[in-house]
Chain A
């Protein structure tokens, strides 16, 4: 039972990271109908700008490192939106995937050129301490990562449900043409959506870098596909659904690692996806028609 609880806790930590990246995918896909495959690499850029801040200015502290990560990721996301993502709106979904994948290849190999292809150490910034909660032992960094991701998710949820931009976001998701006819500035919202997703990815990237103590130019590959699958399994109608599914997949993966084998871990998401989509092709919580 202790192993079970421990794995559930580990799964919550990793699942919340999936959730943040998956929400980035979901925001781009619902609002722009673009599969932004460069999103995990925007995440990666955030991790490296955070790394630069943390190594060059060692005293800046966690908050400022995170801010640096957000700025780096946000800048890349903003430029990408203007140059690639916005022109792809309205194209076939698969073409948007290929187009942004080209950007992803550029970002990955560009960063590999700058930082080298091997993983680089990421300073931990937080004390190495383990905290016992009942039978479960978590490190301080795991708890920090979970808290940061949860905070980000709560903020997105508030943004979508509680602000006027969020209402416009949902309107565009439902019917872009009608939203535009009712005075929503679709281009502005699209811009803002990608920027928001990138900022979130930057913050999450810094906390993931601290969690694992390493940063790599190819870290995006790990998160990209899984986050994407989380979005599909949940369907994009409710962002909260994407979060729940991402965390659930994280927990299932941790349990599979604990009880079966770690080589099966990466298959979990795919089996969940085939199973769910066979019975509910629009995802568990429904999708906007595209």
Chain B
């Protein structure tokens, strides 16, 4: 395959990496947003309107689009603040669909006919820069005080609150940072696709990013990165089986969920030893010496030992 044939694949892979990293930051506080595509759409529409209707330059338009997406993210965080875990995810879903319907019926941004006439500004280097920015943000967030606070909120909001972490603040910030990254990705994508249609804001597009994230595993930064790269490239790699490739795609997703419940890339569980041909790859790492004769109580309903964080 020549480079010219490879370039679109590379660009889409990089853009998917940007989006999934934004989603990773959002998900760190335990709130898996199901409106990623909608927030990316906000970014895309915003930068398209700014460049086409107001004659802005590319860079300020992207920055403004990121800012707007961040604001939408904060609004979403505030609406869903008091909701239970599972209902919350579905409310983000409905929020995304509502935005899609809004775009569908708003004639100023093209309505059902899509927004057209966007100039081609995105090159492969734009995507590389955007990916680098997203990676840097996610990496810094991962190790920061805020990142730890976010994970504390994810694992146990009540305990985190009791330790002085403001849940509203942490969730607002994760949604804002994640929204900004996703919005940047959406804006860059808009200037490559040249058309933005309301359908791209829908749930099934968002679901792609969630699949990337859960496929790769959301315990580390590398999980979503790996998931996005592999699953964007996979349908291309399976192209020789053209008719069966979507079936294989579905099969792989189901198998990963069944066999690797925490995703492909996970941290090695504490206390577990990994061997290859008899050689110890990673030695057993007990987190604390267990007291004699005390075993963790199994919970009948889930089968998980008490104290082990939920796979989420």
Q: Is the CB of B104 within 8 A of A102?
A: no
Kindly state whether residue A271 has any CB partner on chain B within 8 Å.
yes
Interface size class of A (residues with CB under 8 A): 35 or more
Kindly state whether residue A133 has any CB partner on chain B within 8 Å.
no
Kindly state whether residue B94 has any CB partner on chain A within 8 Å.
yes
**A113 to B244, alpha carbons, bound, how many Å?**
8
Kindly report which residue of chain A lies nearest to residue B97, judged by CB atoms: A270
Picked from A102, A110, A271, A281, the residue with its CB within 8 Å of the CB of B257 is A102
**A263 to B105, alpha carbons, bound, how many Å?**
8
Picked from B90, B94, B251, B312, the residue with its CB within 8 Å of the CB of A92 is B312
Kindly state whether residue A151 has any CB partner on chain B within 8 Å.
no
Q: Is the CB of B254 within 8 A of A106?
A: yes
Kindly state whether residue A87 has any CB partner on chain B within 8 Å.
yes
The stretch that binds B, out of A137-145, A191-199, A204-212, A272-280, is A272-280
A94: chain B residues at CB < 8 Å are 32, 86, 89, 210, 214, 312
Q: A88-B257, A88-B258, A267-B97 are in contact. Are A273 and B91 (CB under 8 A)?
A: yes
Kindly state whether residue A129 has any CB partner on chain B within 8 Å.
no
**A93 to B32, alpha carbons, bound, how many Å?**
12
Kindly state whether residue B129 has any CB partner on chain A within 8 Å.
no
Q: Is the CB of B210 within 8 A of A98?
A: yes
Q: Bits for B86-121, please: 1 = Cβ < 8 Å to A, else 0.
A: 110111001101100100110000001000000000
Q: Is the CB of A91 within 8 A of B261?
A: yes
A264: chain B residues at CB < 8 Å are 101, 105
Kindly state whether residue B252 has any CB partner on chain A within 8 Å.
yes
Kindly report which residue of chain A lies nearest to residue B198, judged by CB atoms: A263
Q: Is the CB of A101 within 8 A of B207?
A: yes
B91: chain A residues at CB < 8 Å are 273-274, 277-278
Q: Is the CB of B203 within 8 A of A225?
A: yes
Which residues of B (202-261) have their CB < 8 Å from a CB of A? Answer: 203-204, 207, 210-211, 214, 243-244, 246-247, 249-255, 257-258, 261
Kindly state whether residue B6 has any CB partner on chain A within 8 Å.
no
CB distance from B235 to the nearest CB of A (A): 11
B214: chain A residues at CB < 8 Å are 94-95, 98
A107: chain B residues at CB < 8 Å are 250
Q: Is the CB of A98 within 8 A of B253?
A: yes
Q: A105-B247, A290-B86 are in contact. Are A95 and B253 (CB under 8 A)?
A: no
Interface size class of B (residues with CB under 8 A): 35 or more
A257: chain B residues at CB < 8 Å are none
**A110 to B301, alpha carbons, bound, how many Å?**
35
Q: A90-B303, A99-B257, A104-B250 are in contact. Are A281 and B87 (CB under 8 A)?
A: yes
Q: Bits for A163-182, please: 1 = Cβ < 8 Å to B, else 0.
A: 00000000000001100100
Q: Is the CB of B207 within 8 A of A232?
A: no
Q: Is the CB of B94 within 8 A of A274?
A: yes
Q: Is the CB of B250 within 8 A of A278?
A: no
B2: chain A residues at CB < 8 Å are none
Q: Is the CB of B258 within 8 A of A84?
A: yes
Q: Bits for B279-312, please: 1 = Cβ < 8 Å to A, else 0.
A: 0000000000000000000001111000000111
Q: Is the CB of B250 within 8 A of A106?
A: yes
CB distance from A267 to the nearest CB of B (A): 4
**A3 to B201, alpha carbons, bound, how many Å?**
33
Which residues of A (216-263) have their CB < 8 Å from a CB of B? Answer: 221, 225, 229, 232, 261, 263
Q: Is the CB of B254 within 8 A of A270?
A: no
Kindly state whether residue A118 has any CB partner on chain B within 8 Å.
no
**A88 to B251, alpha carbons, bound, how many Å?**
15
Q: Is the CB of B301 within 8 A of A90?
A: yes
Kindly state whether residue B75 has any CB partner on chain A within 8 Å.
no
Kindly state whether residue B275 has any CB partner on chain A within 8 Å.
no
Kindly state whether residue B83 has any CB partner on chain A within 8 Å.
yes
A98: chain B residues at CB < 8 Å are 210-211, 214, 253, 257
The contact sample of 13 A-B pairs, CB cut-off 8 A, is: A92-B312, A94-B32, A95-B214, A98-B253, A99-B258, A102-B255, A106-B254, A266-B101, A271-B94, A277-B90, A278-B91, A281-B83, A282-B84
18 new A-B contacts, CB < 8 A, other than A94-B214, A229-B94, are: A88-B257, A91-B311, A92-B310, A92-B311, A94-B32, A94-B312, A98-B214, A102-B250, A103-B254, A105-B246, A105-B247, A180-B300, A225-B203, A273-B90, A273-B94, A274-B94, A277-B83, A290-B86
Sorted from nearest, which 6 A-B pairs have the closest CB atoms?
A105-B250, A102-B254, A102-B253, A99-B257, A106-B250, A267-B101
